[in-house]
Structure 1
Amino acid sequence: MDQPLLVFVTVAEMQNFSRAAEQLHMTQPAVSQHIAALERQLGTRLLERSNKYVRLNKAGEIVYHHAKEILGLHARMTDLVNDLLHTPSGNLVIGSSYTFGEYVLPHVIARMRSLYPMIKPTISIHNTKEIVELIGSRQLDVGIVEGECRDEKLCIEPFADDEMQLIVSPHHRLAGKETVKPEELEEETWIVREEGSGTREAAEKMFDRLDVHPQNLMEFGSTQIIKESVEAGLGISLLSTWAIRKELKLGTLCLVRLQETPVRRKFSVVTQANQFRTKALELFLELLRNHEALPGSADRYK
Structure 2
Amino acid sequence: MDQSLNVFVMVAEKQNFSRAAEELHMTQPAVSQYIRSLEETMDVRLLERTNKYVRLTKAGEIVYHHAKEIVGLYGRMQHLVNDLSNEASGQLSIGASYTFGEYVLPHILARLLKDYPRIQPDVTIGNTAEIADLIMSRQLDVGIVEGRFKENRQLTTQAFAEDRMILVASADHPLTLTERDLEWKELEAQTWIIREEGSGTREAAESIFDRHSISPVRTMQFTSTQPIKEAVGAGLGISLLSEWAVQKDIRYGELVQLPVKDLPFVRQFSIVTSSQYQTKALKVFLELLLNNRELTLFREC
In the superposition, the TM-score normalised over structure 1's length comes to 0.96
Q: Which runs of 5+ in 1 are unaligned?
A: none
Q: 2:158 is matched with which residue?
A: 157
- CA separation of 1:295/1:88 partners in 2, compared to 1, >3 Å: closer, same or farther? same
Q: 1:192 is matched with which residue?
A: 194
Amino acid in the other structure paired with 1:217: T
Q: 1:177 is matched with which residue?
A: 178
Shift of 1:293: 4.0
Q: Distance in 1 between matches of 2:252 and 2:85?
A: 50
Shift of 1:89: 1.0
Whether the 8 Å contact between 1:161 and 1:295 is mirrored in structure 2 is: no
Shift of 1:185: 0.9
SS of residue in 1 equivalent to 2:95:
strand
Q: Distance in 2 between matches of 1:229 and 1:183?
A: 22
1:256-295 alignment, distance < 5 Å = 256-273=258-275, 275-295=276-296
Q: Distance in 1 between matches of 2:166 and 2:185?
A: 17
Q: 2:59 is matched with which residue?
A: 59
Whether the 8 Å contact between 1:68 and 1:139 is mirrored in structure 2 is: yes
Amino acid in the other structure paired with 2:96: S
1:1-302 alignment, distance < 5 Å = 1-149=1-149, 150-178=151-179, 179-273=181-275, 275-295=276-296, 300=300
Percent sequence identity over aligned pairs:
59
Q: Distance in 1 between matches of 2:192 and 2:211?
A: 16
Q: Deviations over 1:253-283 (max 9, x none)?
A: 011110111110000000014x211111110
Amino acid in the other structure paired with 1:219: Q
SS of residue in 2 equivalent to 1:201:
helix
Q: Deviations over 1:16-52 (max 9, x none)?
A: 0010011111111110000000000001101111111
Whether the 8 Å contact between 1:160 and 1:295 is mirrored in structure 2 is: no
Q: Distance in 2 between matches of 1:248 and 1:151?
A: 38
Whether the 8 Å contact between 1:162 and 1:240 is mirrored in structure 2 is: yes
SS of residue in 2 equivalent to 1:264:
strand
Q: Deviations over 1:204-260 (max 9, x none)?
A: 000001111012111100100000000001111000000001100110101111011
Q: Distance in 1 between matches of 2:294 and 2:12?
A: 41
Amino acid in the other structure paired with 1:118: R
Amino acid in the other structure paired with 2:79: D
Amino acid in the other structure paired with 2:98: Y
SS of residue in 2 equivalent to 1:294:
helix
- Runs ≥4 in structure 1, deviation > 6 angstroms? none
Shift of 1:152: 2.4
Whether the 8 Å contact between 2:107 and 2:294 is mirrored in structure 1 is: no
- CA separation of 1:54/1:272 partners in 2, compared to 1, >3 Å: closer, same or farther? same
Q: Distance in 2 between matches of 1:182 and 1:207?
A: 9
Q: Which runs of 5+ in 2 are unaligned?
A: none
Q: Distance in 2 between matches of 1:270 and 1:172?
A: 39
Question: How big is the alpha-carbon RMSD for the aligned residues of Structure 1 and Structure 2?
Answer: 1.3
Amino acid in the other structure paired with 1:180: L
SS of residue in 2 equivalent to 1:175:
helix
- CA separation of 1:170/1:99 partners in 2, compared to 1, >3 Å: closer, same or farther? same
Whether the 8 Å contact between 2:11 and 2:20 is mirrored in structure 1 is: yes
Q: Distance in 2 between matches of 1:18 and 1:36?
A: 15
